Amino acid sequence: MKILVPVKRVLDYNIKPRAKSDGSGVELSGLKMAMNPFDEIALEEAVRLKEKNVATEVIAVSCGQVSSQDILRTALALGADRAILIETDYDLEPLAVAKCLAKLIDKEQPNLVICGKQAIDDDSNQTGQILAALLGWSQATFASKIEVTQDHLDVTREIDGGLETVHVSLPSVVTTDLRLNEPRFATLPNIMKAKKKPLETISAQSLQIDIAPRIRVLKVREPDPRPAGIKVDSVDTLIEKLKTDAKVIG
């Protein structure tokens, strides 16, 4: 089984995002970038399947600028066998990413695609579902447990009422939730080994697909600051404040 794992370069989750002074987007200059946390979980699951001899090869893929190579090197250090960068200067939307991945999948012919359920920069939660639709593959979203049985997957997913297990046939697209696993850290020996692993670069233009943005961002601004809280000296005062000031109770 060959597994393909899309990974995205995003602002490190420990850093508070700030809007640019002109409102044209989020300020990224000089800030630490990292692999999308949900994609780390997807990669970890793929590597674990390979360690169980379920998978034979794990391929990490990223769509973006040349700077995304550092995230792919991280993926290689975490256990991916090889990496592919689909290079473009466009700020890709989920549909464009799915189109790029679909073209690559036609070439690589993986049996399974495991991707994070969403990216923490735009929170779209669309790429996996769109990709499955473009390929005509089965899909299982928000996976908290994945079991492979011959040519099928049993995927446990979290729903509002608890847990649901779906039985899907391969090939398939699976999107991962936070509770699926705990990603490993890249060790120094594996970081050194990653430098020798193959990293291929493909021009998005060579795929001959339309990846032009469909959405134009008019302005980005930070949310209004929350007002400071107050202390009250009794329950009666609290209730009165909730009635008169906050108006949350009648």
The pTM of the full predicted model, rounded to 2 decimals, is 0.85
Tell me, letter by letter, the H, E, C secondary structure of the chain.
CEEEEECCEEECCCCCCCECCCCCCECCCCCCEEECHHHHHHHHHHHHHHHCCCCCEEEEEEEECHHHHHHHHHHHHCCCCEEEEEECCCCCCHHHHHHHHHHHHHHHCCCEEEEECCCCCCCCCCHHHHHHHHHCCEEEEEEEEEEEECCEEEEEEEECCEEEEEEEECCEEEEECHHHCCCCCCCHHHHHHHCCCCEEEEEHHHHCCCCCCCCCCCCCCCCCCCCCCCCCCCHHHHHHHHHHCCCCCC
Q: For residue 177, tell me if it sits in a domain.
A: yes
- Please tell me the total count of domains within the chain: 1
Q: Kindly state whether residue 18 falls inside one of the protein's structural domains.
A: yes
**Mean pLDDT for all residues in the chain:** 91
Residue 77, both tokens: 């250090």
Q: Is residue 250 part of a domain?
A: no
Model confidence at 214, pLDDT cuts 50, 70, 90, reads confident
Please say if the pLDDT value at position 213 is more than 90: no
Domain assignment present for 204: yes
Are 181 and 155 in contact by the 8 Å Cβ rule? The answer is no
37 occurs within a structural domain: yes
Q: Between residues 83 and 122, which one has the greater pLDDT?
A: 83
Q: Of 12-21, 105-114, 142-151, 216-225, which has the strongest mean pLDDT? A: 105-114
Name the β-bridge partners of 83: 60, 199
Residue 143: the pLDDT is: 93
Residue 39 near residue 13 (C-beta atoms within 8 A): no
**Structure confidence at residue 24 (pLDDT):** 83
State the residue range of the domain holding 58.
2-244
Residue 249 lies in a domain: no
CATH number at 118 reads 3.40.50.620
Quick one: pLDDT at residue 110?
95
Condensed to tens digits (0 to 9), the pLDDT of residues 59-83 reads 999 999 999 999 999 999 999 999 9
Domain presence at residue 106: yes
